[in-house]
Amino acid sequence: MTDFEAIHEISQLKYRYLRAFDTKDWELFQSCFAPEATCAYGGLDFANVTDLMAYMHKNVREGMSTMHHVHHPEIEVDGDTATGTWYLTDKVMYPKYDYALEGTAFYADRYRRTEDGWKITHTGYTRVWEATWKPSELPSWKLQ
């Protein structure tokens, strides 16, 4: 039988993690990871959570608008560990640098059940495609 309770809790974790990123709630973001977690965002790797958080604090700043949506969960639970495939679509808009990005990727995550609920032990994705453009080429384009 499918472990719907675990799949549900892992989904809630993933949604919380992405909501924290897009609202720049770094305390909530960090709480989604197990202490030993690693990350691999399409070529951008982090061997530990300390390095990950330092990068986020430095690079994801006010004025940078993002959107991370995940779809199509394919989650496999095996006792207290689980793997998850998600289909990501993300957008980054940084008017200050005349930069806009839209992309899709498949996440390949690993999770672990802890005393404090399910946590991410590894998150990473492989791009399907990525498109970038300069908003200044569309003079009416306005972000708020």
Residues lying near a copy of itself in the complex (CB under 8 A) are found at 1-2, 4-5, 8, 12, 14-16, 18-19, 22-23, 65, 67, 69-74, 85, 87, 89, 93, 104, 106, 128-134, 137-144
Judge whether 143 and 65 are in contact, CB under 8 Å: yes
In angstroms, the CA 6 to CA 78 distance is 10
CB of 59 to a copy of itself, least distance (A): 18
Round to whole Å and give the CA distance between 74 and 7.
9
Phi and psi angles of residue 55, each rounded to the nearest 5 degrees, phi first: -65, -45
Minimal distance, residue 99 CB to a copy of itself, in Å: 10
Nearer to a copy of itself, 38 or 77 (CB): 77
Nearer to a copy of itself, 35 or 42 (CB): 42
Question: Which CB atom, from 4 or from 27, has the smaller least distance to a copy of itself?
Answer: 4
Q: From the CB of 136, what's the least distance to a copy of itself, in Å?
A: 8
Report the DSSP pairing between strands 33-41 and 44-46.
antiparallel
Structure tokens at 71: 């779809």
How many other β-carbons are positioned within 10 Å of the β-carbon of residue 25? Answer: 13
Closest approach of a copy of itself to the CB of residue 38, in Å: 23
